[in-house]
Amino acid sequence: MARAQSPRRRLIATLAAWGVALTIFFPVLWMVLTSFKTEASAVAMPPELLSADWTLENYAEVWQRSDYPRFFWNSVVISIGSTLLGLAIAIPAAWSMAFVPGKRTKDLLMWMLSTKMMPAVAVLIPLYLVFQRIGLFDTKLGLILALMLMNLPIIIWMLYTYFKEIPAEILEAARMDGASLWSEIVYVLTPMALPGIASTMLLNIILAWNEAFWTITLTTTKAAPLSAFIASFSAPQGLFYAKLSAASAMAILPILILGWFSQKQLVRGLTFGAVK
């Protein structure tokens, strides 16, 4: 890749890339800036930046008026719980599809993906009724199950494409070495596929954290995660930009920071077999 690039071209490319990246990022940045302004400053016209009144008041007020730690904890439990449960079911399934493929494997995968195409709104009422009936409504377990099932096809697909890169000979070697199926998966496949599993895990935590339909409709207070927290904030508060921004920032910052720190791992496996 050591190609001679004229410094001029390189400078233009760098400037253009940064311009585009900052534009894409700007809404998030603007929201965070707004969250530190006073309400008056937040809606001032023309928009204030250097002259703005900076304050931490919004965060203090949001923190005081709502039970942020509970919402936060629910989000953590639900996203991590659904991810771990999903992996436990998906790893064996992906093993089967990647290493013992049959004529129907591709169809099976496509069918799994198609279950995700059913619009959530379409099945809202039945699921609401079922969840009420079997006592899963407004429970963390209920949301863990729902989000796990919602994302299972994506998890299986990601793991499947990742497992396919692993040479089957290595698993055969393990079999020759006397490994049972369980040992083969635990001692050989899983450690070898760790980067892919990590990436799948991250993506799934992000998807589960940001899910805002089932988490809002299948909870009231007890199990409500941050998506419900933000929904409750935008509704009755009216247009208090600064406080809304502060609440928004509190809802997304944990996952944003996790994402930033782990983006290398995330991106590595985020190919769905698109890269050969």
Partner 1 sequence: MSTQSTRLAARLMVAPSVFVLFIWMIVPLAMTLYFSFRFYRLLTPERSGWVGFNHYLWFLNSPDFWLAIFNTLALVGGVLVITVILGVLIALLIDQPVKGQGMLRILVISPFFVMPPVAASIWENLFMHPQNGLFSAITRGFGMQPILFLEDYPLWSVIGIVSWEWLPFATLIFLTALQSLSSEQLEAAEMDGASPFNRFRYIILPHLTRAITVVILIQTIFLLGIFGEIFTTTQGGPGSASTTLPYMIFKQAIVAKDIGRAAAGGIIAVILANIVAYFLMRGIGRHLDN
Partner 2 sequence: MGKIQLTQVRKSFGEVDVIPGIDLSIEDGEFVVFVGPSGCGKSTLLRLIAGLEDTTSGTIAIDGKDATTLPPAKRGLAMVFQSYALYPHMSVRKNIAFPLKMAGMSESEQAARVERAAKVLNLTSYLDRRPGQLSGGQRQRVAIGRAIVREPSAFLFDEPLSNLDAALRVGMRQEITELHQSLKTTMIYVTHDQVEAMTMADKIVVLNAGRVEQVGSPLDLYHHPQNLFVAGFIGSPKMNFLAGAEAAKHNAATIGIRPEHLDIGAGGMWQGTVGLTEHLGSDTFLKVTLDSGEVVTVRANGDVALHHGDRVALSPQASKIHRFDASGKALA
Contact 145, 136 (CB under 8 A): yes
Find which of partner 2, partner 1, none residue 192 binds, CB within 5 to 8 Å per kind. partner 2
From residue 181 to residue 220, the character string flagging contacts with partner 2 as x (rule: CB under 8 A) and all else as - is --x---xx--xx-x--------------------------
Name the minimum Å distance from CB 57 to partner 1. Answer: 18
Which residue lies nearer to partner 2 by CB, 67 or 177?
177
Residue 7 binding result from partner 1, partner 2, none, given CB thresholds of 5 to 8 Å by partner type:
none
Hey, which residues between 20 and 79 contact partner 1 (CB under 8 A)? Answer: 20-22, 24-25, 27-28, 30-31, 34, 42-43, 45-47
Long-range contacts of the stretch 42-47 (C-beta < 8 A, 24+):
42/241, 42/242, 42/245, 43/239, 43/241
27 or 191, CB closer to partner 2?
A: 191
Residue 230 CA to residue 35 CA, distance in Å, equals: 14
87 binds partner 1 (CB under 8 A): no
For residue 37, report the phi and psi dihedrals to the nearest 5 degrees. -95, 160
Eight-state DSSP code of residue 54? B
Q: Which of 46, 178, 236, 238 binds partner 2 (CB under 8 A)?
A: 178
Pair 210, 147: CB distance under 8 Å? no
Phi first, then psi: give them for residue 54, nearest 5 degrees.
-90, 145
**Angle formed by the axes of helices 68-99 and 140-163, nearest 10°:** 40
CB of 220 to partner 2, least distance (A): 46
Q: Which two tokens stand for residue 210?
A: 């940001």
Query: Which residue lies nearer to partner 2 by CB, 159 or 244?
Result: 159
Q: Minimum distance between the CB of residue 187 and partner 2, rounded to whole angstroms?
A: 8
| Structure tokens given for 22 | 């900052």
The footprint of partner 2 (CB under 8 A) covers 167, 169-170, 172-180, 183, 187-188, 191-192, 194
